Amino acid sequence: MLIGVLALQGGFAAHARMLRELGATVREVRVPADLDGLDGLVIPGGESTTMTLGIEREGLGEPLRRFDGPVFGTCAGLIMLDREHLGMMDIQARRNAFGRQVRSFEADLEVAGLDGPPLRAVFIRAPWIAAHGDGVQIIAEVDGHAVAAQEGDILAVAFHPELGSDSRLHERFLAACAARTVGAGRTLDAMRRDSGA
């Protein structure tokens, strides 16, 4: 499975590492042609203003909006997906929502549909989801604030699942990518067997 990681800025390397450990082939995405043939796309954390400028500079806005496949956005990536940025998800992000002084914290999250113990989540100047449409399912909250959401094949989280060793959200994303890879007949389990992971 070929997964793209938007690599204009921010935490793309840690995502790439985790995806490779799970058996995916990773391509760093910097220009529109890099989106061709991908089975899924990750938009990492970083700084959403800088990322927006990079997307404009490279003419990536329209190609990203047209991307037809599962997308996983984390932290600034969640912001990029919202109504006011790429508009790929019917959510409205609030930047630095936990307050600038609360620069980072960790929390044990119950994520809907995730088996096993709570997910230890790292938040770094994180947004939250201030509003969302009916088609959006909120799958995790912190103090009553939505911090993870799913809309069709698009998954967005306000934290950094690529940091640390819990890869369950990346596995969930890759499972969605595998489900979309019509005719290839390759499941995530098969990929793991092939890669020895």
**Residues identified as active-site:** 75, 160, 162
By beta-carbon proximity to ligand GLN, the closer residue of 76 and 119 is 76
User: Where along the sequence are the contacts to ligand GLN (CB under 6 A)?
Assistant: 45-48, 75-76, 79, 95-96, 124-125
Least distance (Å) from ligand GLN to the CB of residue 107? 15
Tell me if 135 sits within 8 A of 152, measured CB to CB: yes
Tell me if 169 sits within 8 A of 157, measured CB to CB: yes
By beta-carbon proximity to ligand GLN, the closer residue of 14 and 191 is 14
Least distance (Å) from ligand GLN to the CB of residue 196? 32
CA–CA dist 194, 188 (Å, integer): 10
By beta-carbon proximity to ligand GLN, the closer residue of 45 and 54 is 45
SS (H, E, C) 147-197: EEEEECCEEEECCCCCCCCCCHHHHHHHHHHHHHCCCCCCCHHHHHHHHCC
Least distance (Å) from ligand GLN to the CB of residue 23? 26
CA–CA dist 122, 120 (Å, integer): 7
Least distance (Å) from ligand GLN to the CB of residue 108? 19
Distance of CA 130 to the CA centre of its chain: 18
By beta-carbon proximity to ligand GLN, the closer residue of 164 and 180 is 164
